[in-house]
């Protein structure tokens, strides 16, 4: 419990710094990475065994598609009020993972289905750019509110994961805690462009998270130590995210040059 209370504020402060330094898209990629679902998966190895964690990793791959669906729906409904938008996006996320619970627990099916959905969504979002916010409102309470909301939701979701099956651990682990908070707070403060950037980054981060869970699932069948497995998966995930950011950035610069 103490670890969760300490880690959540550190994550939000890191994301806050990245947003100030590199922009909203980069700050959105970080919560799209398995920074909450990854540690949960690692602890499952210790508590439930490798077979249980490997099965949960397959469900987590489906969960990455659910995160992308959440981000897309939030962007789609962003013309509405923030509370209406988050309700519709979460309803879409919940409906989607309910459907995913009936999908076969096979790595090849999960990988194919997820990436056939993720890549088109990422490509679509790379072509759309909303107008810049005319006014950037400064609220002193935004950062503390984000820390409180994220910490509370992480504790609640971690507790819930102890009460369900391996499949639902993976699916519920995709709950877009940080992205939901970042998007909703920015939207409520009139910063729609910043909200869009974070959610767009969340879709890119989900692509990288899928790689993380593929590696975890495959390597848990070996004799490698769990710490080495999860470290390798995290490194591959971050490298893939960096390559995606570079690719999308070059594409956007090329499009800008044409205009």
Share of the chain above pLDDT 70, in %: 71
C-alpha separations of 58 from 63, 168, 178, 212 in Å: 9, 11, 22, 11
pLDDT digit string, tens, across residues 182-210: 788 888 887 787 788 888 888 888 888 88
Q: How confident is the model at residue 248 (pLDDT cuts 50, 70, 90)?
A: low
Q: How confident is the model at residue 86 (pLDDT cuts 50, 70, 90)?
A: very high
Helix axes 37-48, 192-219, angle to 10 degrees: 30
Asked if the model's pLDDT at residue 122 lies above 90, the reply is no
Strands (DSSP E) along 50-134, which ranges? Answer: none
The Cα–Cα gap between 223 and 217 comes to 13
Give CA 34 to chain center in angstroms. 7
Q: How confident is the model at residue 219 (pLDDT cuts 50, 70, 90)?
A: very high
Contact 84, 30 (CB under 8 A): no
Give the CA diameter of the chain. Answer: 56
The Cα–Cα gap between 63 and 75 comes to 19
Residue 162: predicted pLDDT: 66
Residue 124: predicted pLDDT: 81
């Amino acid at each position: 419990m103490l670890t969760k209370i300490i880690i959540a504020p550190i994550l939000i402060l890191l994301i806050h710094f990245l947003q100030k330094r590199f922009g909203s898209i980069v700050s959105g990629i970080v919560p799209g990475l398995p920074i909450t679902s990854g540690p949960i998966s690692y602890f499952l190895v210790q508590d439930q065994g490798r077979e249980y964690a490997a099965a949960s990793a397959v469900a987590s791959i489906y969960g990455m598609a659910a995160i992308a669906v959440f981000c897309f729906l939030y962007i789609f409904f962003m013309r509405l009020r923030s509370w209406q938008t988050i309700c519709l996006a979460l309803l879409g996320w919940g409906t989607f993972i309910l459907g995913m619970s009936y999908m076969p627990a096979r790595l090849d099916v999960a990988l194919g289905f997820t990436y056939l959905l993720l890549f088109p969504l990422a490509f679509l979002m790379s072509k759309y750019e909303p107008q810049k916010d005319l006014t950037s409102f400064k609220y002193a309470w935004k950062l503390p509110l984000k820390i409180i909301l994220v910490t509370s939701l992480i504790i609640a979701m971690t507790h819930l994961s102890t009460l369900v099956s391996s499949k639902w651990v993976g699916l519920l682990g995709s709950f877009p805690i940080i992205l939901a908070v970042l998007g909703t707070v920015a939207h409520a403060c009139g910063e729609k462009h910043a909200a869009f950037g974070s959610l767009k980054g969340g879709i890119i981060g989900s692509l990288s998270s899928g790689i993380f869970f593929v590696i975890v699932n495959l390597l848990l069948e070996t004799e490698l130590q769990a710490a080495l497995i999860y470290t390798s998966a995290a490194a591959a995930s971050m490298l893939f995210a960096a390559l995606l950011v570079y690719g999308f950035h070059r594409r956007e610069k090329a499009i800008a040059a044409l205009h």
